[in-house]
Structure 1
Amino acid sequence: MNPSFSAHIAEQAVHWLIESQSDDFDQHQALQHWLQADSEHQRAWAHIQQVNQRLRGVASPVVHATLQAPPSPARRRALKALLLVGVASAAGLGLQPHNPLPGLLADYRSPVGQRRRLTLDDGSQLHLNTRSAADVRFDGQQRRVRLQEGELLLEVVNDPRPLHLLTAQGELRLGSGRFDVRQFDGFSLVSVFSGSVSVAGQPLLAGHQARFAAGGWQAVAPLDPNRAAWVDGMLVVSQMRLGDFLAELSRYRLGQLGCSERVADLRISGSYPLADSERILAMLEVALPVRVRRFTRYWVNVEAATS
């Protein structure tokens, strides 16, 4: 069995499995909408149900105590941890060795809607954006950081050891400076605020950003100064398509956030607080001729305002 779904979809499936145990009709409706939205969701859902069944057959007092405990926030946290470990366990679930959902087992993770700041052993600062995961390995000869999924910002200090940043596309070498790296399907986006990054001897200098793919740098462009606004808890945009804006906002909230084609090409500018996505949606109705239709808390669609 080789499940073809990403780590963050697996985490969503865990969320929905836990929510489905309630008697909330809206939650069950939202789950059905989530399942219908993408076949990847359906594959993850089928897999997490298998994980749940396997857990019930595990001869462990800790597992049994968690499954049988009365509903509470502590039980939810414990059950979520058990399910995530179960999903990611190649030995327990028969996953292929090359697909162990590494983001779920990374050294450092940030869940949906949260950000983390870490001080590394050399004094460098590592910031993780929403739905992100990274591994860190330092020794006497080198420093290595692997971005498993999502986005990170590194503030690298001077150190005689080189710092290597690995993404799905390969290996980058960073000097001291400030760098933002985001993993997409098929490429990474690298932004250099200070210092320089190189791949195979090809440098990317401060004030620039570029895609990094198998062949090296692609589409080198001037740096978007708002690229790292997320570190300060803000989403800052200038004349962005509403459809793209909502896709970006959806990274910071659970559930389905959709957009009608009639309004997708409207343009939006401004600074928006990521800690309160509901406030952002309310602001949209003031700034643009749109209405926010909430089917449930986890199923939201932005549509044209009625006349």
Structure 2
Amino acid sequence: MSTTGKLSHASLEQAAQWYVRLQDQGSTQEQQRWQAWVAQHPEHLAAWQYVERVSQRFAPLLDQPQGASRALRSTRRQTLKTLLVVCGGSTLAWGTWRTTALPRLVGGWSADYATASGETRDTLLADGSHVWLNALSALDVRFDAVQRLLNLRFGEVLIDTAKDAHRPFLVDTEQGRMQALGTRFSVVHDDNHTQLNVFEGRVRVTTLSQQVRIIEAGQQSVFTRDGFQPTASASQAREAWSRGVLLADNLPLGELVAELNRYRPGHLGCDPSVAQLPVMGSFPLMDSDHALHLLQAALPVRVERLMPWWATVRPQ
């Protein structure tokens, strides 16, 4: 699950650069130029909101005296309130974040099991089934006398089911329902689709439109509410993360960076000019700095750190 939604790399980088400039200078002229940039396009406002959210987790790293930093943030927030009125709360970028990312964030707080950035969770359920919850995920568990039901609100879960002849093991997402048939499998729930990888046994999938398909061991299925994409080979990477390993088999660099970003408390982006570089190998998920060092050694790329909590993979 992307933490930045549909925001472009350019808008995010510009917002981060504005953040640095305001921290360093914060003059009236700079404030006015920043206000003009934010008002220029709805995506600029959403990108700035994202940078602010990330920066709040790293407030102790700010270089300015506490009072000056607090005053600067207060000025920016007041200006943003005005811009929200001028730009309109229903603009595409802000409206998309408010209606998709925000409800998911709040929804995760009330889930039975939830993980934050950089966190995974290993749980043994009441029936003996084993589940691993990936970073930035939320899961509900509903067991009763007739069924065992998991609802993956968002994110990813790896499941090793226990046998129970009287209660089927079910997993729901917004796109459909999966029924385990003696199985070890993973489920990734993104905004518009569900990805299922079956490692042992079989899984019966029923989409919301009532299309049915059985996915065998060694297969991967991506489906929406309305149907299925062509079946492919199961991705071992969707199991390896539970061991703290990110596997890349000709994985585009942009996708690898997006995966690493889930395990960093700050922001990690990828320049579009190198996003399609193929990557091979294994990388430590819980030590993303070392993973980035390995990438720089293997590819013609460098890691630029605009701030301690904002890094971008760029061409060398």
Same fold (TM over 0.5): yes
Pairwise CA distance, 1:154:
0.6
**Is it true that 1:205 corresponds to 2:216 in the alignment?**
yes
- Assess if the C-alpha contact under 8 Å between 2:55 and 2:309 holds in 1: no
Per-residue deviation, residues 1-33 of structure 1 (Å, max 9, x unmatched): xxxx99xx99997664454477545997xx99x
Picking from 103, 112, 134, the partner of 1:107 is 112
Alpha-carbon displacement from aligned partner over 1:37-71 (angstroms, at most 9, x marks no partner):
x9459966xxxxxxxxxxxxxxxxxxxxxxxxxxx
Matches within 5 A, 1:16-165: 16-17=55-56, 19-20=58-59, 23-25=62-64, 39-40=93-94, 101-160=106-165, 161-165=167-171
Q: 2: CA distance between counterparts of 1:263 and 1:194?
A: 36
Aligned twin of 2:313: 302
TM-score, structure 2 normalization: 0.68
Task: Name the Cα RMSD after superposition.
Answer: 3.3
Are residue 250 (structure 1) and residue 255 (structure 2) matched? no
Measure, in 1, the Cα distance between the counterparts of 2:105 and 2:138.
14
Please, which runs of 5 or more residues in structure 1 have no aligned partner?
A: 45-86, 89-98
Fraction of identical pairs, as percent: 36
Partner of 1:283: 294
Written as runs of structure 1 = structure 2, the 5 A alignment for 1:154-303 is 154-160=159-165, 161-200=167-206, 201-303=212-314
What amino acid sits opposite 1:174 in the alignment? A
Change (3 A) 1:25 1:239: farther
- 1:242 offset after TM fit, Å? 1.4
Q: Judge conservation of contact 2:183–2:203 (CA < 8 Å) in 1.
A: no
Shift of 1:256: 2.3
CA contact (8 A) 1:187 1:212 kept: yes
Once the two structures are superposed, what CA deviation does each residue of 1:189-245 show, in whole Å capped at 9, x if it has no partner?
A: 000001111124421111100112113432211212332110110001012221221
Question: Per the alignment, do residues 193 and 11 of structure 1 end up closer, same or farther by CA in structure 2, a change over 3 Å counting?
Answer: farther
Q: Secondary structure at the match of 1:159?
A: coil
- 8 Å CA contact 1:12–1:254 kept in 2: the answer is no
In the TM superposition, residue 104 of structure 1 has moved relative to its aligned partner by 2.0
Contact 1:242 1:265 in 2 (8 A): yes
Deviation of 1:296 (Å): 1.3
Q: Whole-Å Cα distance in 2 between the matches of residues 11 and 110 of structure 1?
A: 19
**Shift of the alpha carbon at 1:174?**
1.4
- Answer whether contact 1:199 1:216 (CA < 8 A) is retained: no
